[in-house]
Structure formats: C-alpha cells, structure tokens
C-alpha cells in the first residue's frame, strides 16, 4: 500500500551557510518528493532522503554495537588519536565528538582549518565588525560584494537577505540599495572572483593588488590620502566615492577557500574604518553542513574553534602547526575518528587519514571507503536536518532548529554518544571530560 503524502513546513536546509529555514518538505513512501522554496543547491542537498545504512569493519558487515565497540577500542588504545569534524553534523553531535577528543587527551580539528582559517585567525587578532543577516536585510543601503557573487554558491542570499528583499529602513528593496561589485580578476586565466552582474557600480582589481587596494581604501576612509598613483590607490579612490555617503554598508566576502590572513585582516580593518564616517558590517560567507556550528561548539567547549590539542590534559590552540592536515602529514596521528560527510572533506586530507586506522561515522560514510579496505570501521548515519533533529548555526552564528522530515538511520549524535560512553569505560574514571 502506498503511503499518502506528508508535508512538513519550516525545515532548515544546510545546503549552504544561508541555512534557509522556510523550506517545505513533502514526503511519500518515506522519500522526499518536493522541497518547496529550496534553491537548486538545496534540492540537491535534500535529494530524496535515501542514504546507505551500512555498518562495517574491514569490509565485513557487523552490528552497530560491534562497530561502536571497535571504534571506541581503536581510539582508546591509540597514543595520538584525532577527532575530525566534517560537515553535516548537528551541534549536538559536535558536542559529543568534542567530549570524545577531550576524554582521549587527543586532537580535535574540523574542516574550518582547511577552508576558512584565514578569516578566523584575522578576526581573532583584530576583532570584527559583524552583524546578523537580519540586520543587513533591514539596514544596509550599500552592499559591496568583494570578489564574490553569492548567486553562484549561496543562491538565496540575495532574495532572503541583501540586496533584493525589502527591509525596515530600505522599504523598496533593491531600489533602495546600491550594489557595488569588486571583481578580483587576474587577467590571464579564467580563475577570478567576480561580483554580481547587475551591480550599480563595478571596480576591477587584480589579485596582486587586492590587499593593497583594501589597505589604501581604509586609509582614504580614515581621511589619509598620501596622493599615491599606483593602481591600488586609483581603484581605492574610485571605490571610496561609493562608500562615504552610505548610511549602512555591508561588505560581503567569501570566507571559504582562503588561507590568506592578510587579505582577511585588511577587510576587517576596512570595515572598522568605515564605522566612523558611517556604519559598516563585514558579512563572511560560509559553506553548508553546519560548519559555523563546529566552530561555535568547539569554542564553547574548549575556548578555541579548531586545531585543539588535549595532550596535556587541557585544551591548547595550535592553529598553524597543529591542524589535522599538518599532523597527519608528519605522521603524528595513529588513529582517526572522522565524523560527518567524508565526501566533503578535502581530498588530500581524506587520503592522509587512510594511512592510519580510522573510524568513519556519518552520512554515506561507507561510500568513502574503498572495497578492499581491511581496517576501516564504518557506521552510516542519517543526515542532520534530514533524518536527525537538533540545532545548527547559520553563517552569521544565529542558531536554528533542525527538523527531521524523513525517517532514516540513527543520527550521528546518538552514535557519537555511544562511542563516547564506551571510550570512558575503556579509559577509566581518571579524568572527567571537561567538554561534558
């Protein structure tokens, strides 16, 4: 007998960092058949809700209990275990995984160290003038898209936040706002970063001049113009004209895929300089899968967002030499717990984890393991926001509830909780995990 269609409103999509929470999901026969309001990226992320449900050790199907015990034993007997947070985990799952790393006196890291470390480190060094996306929607009258077109990787950013939607102080939406596109183009290859095609004004900057242009612009905003004639100063003067007269500026830049702390620090300085003659917030775009949540949970539990070492019995922050990639490349890790969607982990890092015994827990974990693997422990779980309820963080660090529109395999939070319990049993009661 065919099940009737079931609809669930206000589902949160983790397809990108926008975390749109107005998605309407319709299911039939325990499959997703419609995702209303979702963009193409969101529709792809939800899919039909079908995920594998395998539990394996060394290519052999086993019970979940056996796999959990094997994973806990692997970690508890390792000298330098690594717990790695990949995307598509709820904050509840992330909390359990931080607790495991703490109980093991191990290493904790997340995908942030490989994708957005530059912006994180710059913000820690200088602070950052930020705002929620809701504030930008209601107040920003000038939007500067710095080397990014959100429509490419964050499709609903423009229609949910800025510049298209109307707000309290910008009632006419797009007509109430000026959009400035800063195209960072190298002029040689197709590798460039362009702003939206429908911008009101456009400035072209070469990658080599980008940081210098941002620095020059900050100087101009602060009232310092030494009369420089370089390309950076020419571009900066052109751009400054669009900014000084604004009531509220939103500088939108992509935090993903850059380790350039200098560029990130320059954008932070520019935003802070503009908070004198006018108002300005720097909005950093993050990819999906609750990556911002991993940063928030790790910071809440340990004081640091990534690259945390518990070897001395307390958390230490090693954002340069202590990342997962650096430690694996140096051969300092002898066991790995990789939790989340392994397919979203950088390929080179995933290859490094395969050199040591590892346990993979998360959505489609079995798909990341080769058929001839003889030592990997694999537990497929549901996807946070599809099969598992909980909490996620939007790219502006606003927490949002996750609903589970589809019944599926056990969530990663439950599996991680079982592993954490068994790890404590194996390690003994010598030290309570501070992350708990």
Angstrom distance (rounded) from CA 244 to CA 306: 37
C-alpha radius of gyration, the chain, whole number: 23
Residue boundaries of the structural domains of the chain:
52-115+289-385+408-427, 117-285
Q: Which long-range contacts (CB under 8 A, 24 or more apart) does 321-327 make?
A: 322/107, 322/109, 323/109, 323/113, 323/114, 323/117, 324/82, 324/84, 324/107, 324/109, 324/113, 324/114, 324/349, 325/113, 325/114, 325/349, 325/352, 327/80, 327/82, 327/107
Closest CA to 271 of 310, 305, 221: 221
Q: What is the pLDDT of residues 381-394, one digit of tens each?
A: 999 999 999 999 99
The domain made up of 117-285 is a member of CATH 1.10.40.60: no
Classify domain 52-115+289-385+408-427 by CATH number: 3.40.50.740
pLDDT of residue 436: 45
Angstrom distance (rounded) from CA 400 to CA 394: 7
Sign for the pseudo-dihedral over CA of 297, 298, 301, 303: negative
Q: What is the pTM of this model?
A: 0.94
pLDDT of residue 408: 87
pLDDT of residue 296: 98
* Contact (CB, 8 A) for 53 and 46: no
Q: Cβ atoms within 10 A of the Cβ of 25, count? A: 25
Sign for the pseudo-dihedral over CA of 190, 193, 197, 203: negative
* Contact (CB, 8 A) for 14 and 88: yes
Q: Is 321 exposed, middle or buried (0-12, 13-18, 19+ CB in 10 A)?
A: exposed
* Contact (CB, 8 A) for 404 and 392: no
Q: What is the pLDDT of residues 373-426, one digit of tens each?
A: 778 999 999 999 999 999 999 999 999 999 999 998 999 999 999 999 999 999
pLDDT of residue 435: 42
Low-confidence spans in the chain with pLDDT less than 50 = 1, 432-436
| Residue 238 main-chain phi, psi, to 5 deg | -65, -40
Bridge partners, residue 399, by sequence: 393
């Amino acid at each position: 007998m065919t099940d009737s269609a079931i609809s669930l409103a206000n589902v949160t999509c983790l397809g990108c960092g926008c975390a749109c929470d107005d998605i309407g999901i319709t299911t039939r026969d325990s499959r997703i058949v419609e995702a209303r309001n979702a963009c193409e990226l969101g529709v792809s992320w939800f899919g039909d809700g079908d995920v594998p449900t395998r539990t394996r050790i060394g290519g052999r199907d086993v019970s979940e209990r056996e796999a959990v015990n094997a994973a806990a034993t692997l970690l508890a007997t390792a000298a330098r275990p690594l717990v790695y947070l990949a995307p598509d985990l709820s904050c509840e799952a992330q909390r359990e995984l931080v607790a495991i790393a703490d109980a093991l006196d191990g290493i904790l890291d997340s995908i942030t160290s490989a994708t957005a470390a530059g912006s994180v480190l710059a913000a820690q060094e200088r602070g950052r003038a930020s705002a929620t996306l809701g504030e930008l929607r209601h107040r920003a009258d000038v939007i500067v898209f710095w080397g990014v077109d959100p429509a490419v990787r964050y499709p609903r950013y423009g229609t949910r936040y800025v510049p298209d939607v109307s707000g309290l102080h910008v009632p006419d939406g797009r007509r109430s706002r000026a959009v400035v596109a800063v195209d960072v183009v190298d002029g040689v290859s197709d590798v460039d970063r362009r702003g939206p095609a429908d911008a009101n004004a456009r400035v072209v900057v070469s990658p080599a001049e980008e940081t210098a242009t941002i620095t020059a612009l900050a100087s101009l905003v602060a009232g310092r113009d030494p009369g420089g004639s370089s390309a950076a100063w020419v571009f900066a003067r052109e751009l400054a004209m669009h900014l000084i007269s604004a009531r509220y500026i939103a500088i939108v830049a992509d935090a993903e895929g850059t380790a350039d702390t200098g560029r990130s620090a320059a954008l932070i300085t520019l935003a802070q300089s503009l908070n004198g003659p006018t108002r300005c917030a720097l909005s950093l775009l993050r990819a999906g899968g609750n990556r911002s949540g991993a940063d928030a949970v790790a910071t809440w539990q340990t004081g640091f967002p990534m690259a945390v070492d518990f070897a001395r019995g307390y958390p230490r922050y090693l954002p340069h030499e202590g990342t997962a990639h650096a430690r694996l490349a140096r051969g300092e890790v002898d066991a790995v717990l990789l939790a989340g969607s392994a397919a979203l982990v950088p390929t080179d890092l995933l290859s490094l984890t395969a050199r040591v015994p590892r346990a993979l827990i998360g959505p489609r974990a079995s798909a990341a393991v080769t058929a001839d693997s003889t030592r990997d422990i694999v537990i497929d779980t549901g996807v946070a926001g599809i099969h598992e309820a909980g909490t996620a963080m939007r790219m502006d660090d606003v927490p949002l509830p996750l609903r589970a529109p589809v019944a599926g395999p056990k969530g990663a939070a439950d599996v991680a909780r079982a592993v954490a319990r068994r790890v404590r049993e194996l390690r003994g009661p010598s030290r309570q995990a501070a992350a708990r």
